[in-house]
A and B are shown apart, each in its own frame.
Chain A
Amino acid sequence: MAEDKKPRTLATESAGKIAKFVRGNMASTLKAREEGKKVAYTYINDGQDEIIRAMDIVPAYGESFAGVCAAKRDAEKYLQKAEAENFSRSLCTYATCTIGFDVWREELGGQIPPETPWGGMARPDMIIGSAQQLCDPRFKWPQATQHYLQDVPVFVGSMYYPPWDPNMDHKDQEKLYVKYAADELRELVLFCEKHTGKKMDWDRLATIVDLTDRTWDLFIETYELRRAIPTPMDTGDAMNTMVPVTFNLGTQEAYDYYVMLQEELKRKIEQKKGVAENEKYRVVWGAGLPSWFALSDFQYFNDKGVVFPVEVTYRNAEKLDRLDLPKTNDPLEHIAWRWVRFWTHWYEKARRRPGSLPKVERIIEYLEDYNCDGVVFHSAFSCRSWHAGIVQQAQVLKKVYGDIPTLIMEGDIVDISSYNEIDTHNRIDAFVETLEAHKKRTN
């Protein structure tokens, strides 16, 4: 029963401090009005963070709110509210959970519904979405929300990058994409200026962009410490520690958080303190958003000696020197280069290995850098953006790299109604046996 569950053991104290971050983020939306600030519903990894922060707009992330509801196993009431509006249960549950909450809040004349996890989020003054390359909900969700908040202006930008094509050198198209992305960011600036009544402080923006650069570097540097054997932190913790770089990007708090995390990881490595009692198998979390209501499954893995020193999910950053960004004085162009180069970072490697895919190259890189013996994927039914293509990734990985144990788990990000713990644990058990057998073979 949910109430009786032991709280999951976190490997790091830093991960334990994240709850405060998340609550703080949600609370800041509720305080914004009295502080004279505007609140914007917005979405992650679209390159819009710096502009929003530079305009002193308080971002409110449905993806975070829905994650919290899911972790508390208290999302169903919001999902049902959305369902009653004729939103299919097969749609992105980050969206339907938040929309359900929005509908309820509107019914109460703007009051936060009773028993909303951690106080909920404020009614937004604007909605900033992005019709970017890889997630349709990030422009359909804002649009759908506006049906219930009809006076709230909606902006939808774009952040495209060259698509993978084994027969084309994407670098030929880079400049086109960077120009497009930068132009779209410019449109966002105009929108923010219009709806805040303020002009963009370009110097301030440049400072924030610089801070983001340094945060990306620090974040990756810190995570790379997890190469250590035993690993001082695994994906179970990372699903917490990703919060600052994802939801607080462009703030000093986010940067400082990784300073603290890095210190802690260094200490643990010195003391040879790992995640599991007995670290037997190191596995890459190859793809997929986790089931926020079942993060304790990481505990289950750990208890069996399986640790995840590295994950692809919510690690949307890379060391800048590896991205080799062209110099520019225009902060928007710099943001555009940063994201375009990040999303295409593994294309080169994939081109050099016939039959490979960029996502697979990334997994191979992690397998080797972090000394891992297998890959776990999680396929969430309500999210095509991150989960369609996982079957192919597993197949291509085996084809181009070798017969390596892989597991594809199935569930959802927020909707617990199709989750079965016994079934999930059985699959994990079977996977551990595969890891065991593989280890014996390769030794």
Chain B
Amino acid sequence: MRTEMNQYFAGVDIGSTMTKVVIVNEGLRASVVGPTGPEHRKLADKVMEEALEHAHLAFDDLTYIIATGYGRINVPFADKQITEITCHAKGLHSLLPTARTIIDIGGQDSKGIRIKNGKVIDFVMNDKCAAGTGRFLEIIADALNVPLDALGALSVSAEKVTPIANTCTVFAEQEVVSQLANGEPLASLTAGIHDAVAARICAMVNKLKIEQDVAVTGGGAKNIGLVKALEKRFGFALLVPHEPLLTGALGAALMAKELFQNAWAKGEKLKRSGEGLKEASLFL
């Protein structure tokens, strides 16, 4: 369906650590990633503002807005909330249409999603245990005094993988520190940590009937060490989208477009939130 020239759809993905906004028209119009901070409400506005600025749009130009992610309920200007499972599937499918299984590795949770013909047919989540999420890597990076960005590259350089048995973050941290003190090479330890996270993610995803192609998205997909560790466990290569942080917001924007245009075609009009972005005017 062709997008009307003046129809713009926005997706707002409020993750536990990062907020992402994507605005689409025919194609991608703007995308912004910002920190979520402790108050979702406040910073969602800010990130949206930034996105609108990049898109050279005013808030009122937006036709329909969908919020997704952990904090989706705290976006008063969103017209609808849809879970990140549905949105990641939608977004990833538009970027990598051959993917049948999606693994989303976030800062505080991870998910496995099976899609068929672009629709979610099964999913599984881990949002309880840090061991299969970015949080685990963050804590270890801290303990090892290695910047999080460098952690993945370091693990890939390792000659061997030191197995880490503990999945409890606190204990694993202790285990790593004590191994380091015993002379275990730093690279091997980081490889072990990445494998431990990969193991937990695989244990979760294996609950689905995995079908290739398998794609990885979310913050974890930017960590080359984690992707490699996952590929090793699966035994085949994984697809990674160009901008893994944006698939949720992209999916939300595409859902907004789809829902709105479907309703339009039936002659229906979708209910809007009626909330503005801010009291003050956006443009000077």
Do A and B interact with each other, yes or no? Answer: yes
Report the separation of the CA atoms of residues A1 and B181 in the bound assembly, to the nearest whole angstrom. 12
Nearest CB on A from B34, distance (A) = 36
Are A1 and B179 within 8 A (Cβ)?
Answer: yes
Interface 1/0s, chain A 1-33, versus B by CB < 8 A? Answer: 110000000000000000000000000000000
Q: Report the interface size class on chain B.
A: 10 to 19
Q: Inside 8 A of A85's CB, which chain B residues have their CB?
A: 207
| B203: contacting residue among A1, A80, A423, CB under 8 A | A80
Instruction: Tell yes or no: A118 within 8 A of B by CB.
Output: no
Report the separation of the CA atoms of residues A422 and B173 in the bound assembly, to the nearest whole angstrom. 12
| B206: contacting residue among A80, A417, A420, A423, CB under 8 A | A80
Are A84 and B167 within 8 A (Cβ)?
Answer: no
Nearest CB on B from A303, distance (A) = 19
Whether A80 touches B179, Cβ cut-off 8 Å, given contacts A420-B166, A420-B174, is no
Q: Inside 8 A of B171's CB, which chain A residues have their CB?
A: 418-420, 423
Are A422 and B178 within 8 A (Cβ)?
Answer: yes
Whether A416 touches B165, Cβ cut-off 8 Å, given contacts A84-B207, A86-B207, A423-B171, is yes
Are B166 and A418 within 8 A (Cβ)?
Answer: yes
Report the separation of the CA atoms of residues A420 and B169 in the bound assembly, to the nearest whole angstrom. 11
Whether A80 touches B202, Cβ cut-off 8 Å, given contacts A86-B207, A422-B178, is yes
Q: Inside 8 A of A427's CB, which chain B residues have their CB?
A: none
**8 Å CB interface, A54-85 against B:** 73, 76, 80, 83-85
Across the two chains, which residue of chain B brings its CB closest to A79? B203
Interface 1/0s, chain B 179-200, versus A by CB < 8 A? Answer: 1001010000000000000010
Are A73 and B203 within 8 A (Cβ)?
Answer: no
Q: How many A-B residue pairs have CB under 8 A?
A: 43
Instruction: Tell yes or no: B36 within 8 A of A by CB.
Output: no
Report the separation of the CA atoms of residues A123 and B166 in the bound assembly, to the nearest whole angstrom. 31
Across the two chains, which residue of chain B brings its CB closest to A73? B165
Instruction: Tell yes or no: B168 within 8 A of A by CB.
Output: yes
**8 Å CB interface, B219-246 against A:** none
Report the separation of the CA atoms of residues A76 and B166 in the bound assembly, to the nearest whole angstrom. 11
Q: Inside 8 A of B184's CB, which chain A residues have their CB?
A: 1
Report the separation of the CA atoms of residues A432 and B166 in the bound assembly, to the nearest whole angstrom. 26
Are A84 and B165 within 8 A (Cβ)?
Answer: no
Are A418 and B168 within 8 A (Cβ)?
Answer: yes
Report the separation of the CA atoms of residues A83 and B201 in the bound assembly, to the nearest whole angstrom. 12
**8 Å CB interface, A209-231 against B:** none
Across the two chains, which residue of chain A brings its CB closest to B129? A89
Nearest CB on B from A339, distance (A) = 38
Across the two chains, which residue of chain A brings its CB closest to B174? A422
Q: Inside 8 A of B163's CB, which chain A residues have their CB?
A: 2
| B167: contacting residue among A73, A417, A422, CB under 8 A | A417
Q: Inside 8 A of B162's CB, which chain A residues have their CB?
A: 1
Report the separation of the CA atoms of residues A418 and B179 in the bound assembly, to the nearest whole angstrom. 17
Across the two chains, which residue of chain A brings its CB closest to B184? A1
Report the separation of the CA atoms of residues A420 and B175 in the bound assembly, to the nearest whole angstrom. 8
Are B166 and A84 within 8 A (Cβ)?
Answer: no
Are B199 and A83 within 8 A (Cβ)?
Answer: no
Report the separation of the CA atoms of residues A423 and B206 in the bound assembly, to the nearest whole angstrom. 32
Across the two chains, which residue of chain A brings its CB closest to B182? A1
| A417: contacting residue among B165, B174, B179, B182, CB under 8 A | B165
Whether A419 touches B165, Cβ cut-off 8 Å, given contacts A1-B179, A80-B199, A80-B202, is yes
Q: Give 6 closest A-B pairs by Cβ, nearest first.
A: A84-B206, A417-B167, A420-B171, A80-B203, A83-B203, A416-B165
Show the binding face of B for A, using Cβ within 8 Å.
Answer: 162-163, 165-168, 171, 174-175, 178-179, 182, 184, 199, 202-203, 206-207
14 A-B pairs with C-beta separation under 8 A: A73-B165, A76-B199, A83-B203, A84-B206, A84-B207, A86-B207, A416-B165, A417-B167, A417-B168, A418-B166, A419-B165, A420-B166, A420-B171, A422-B178
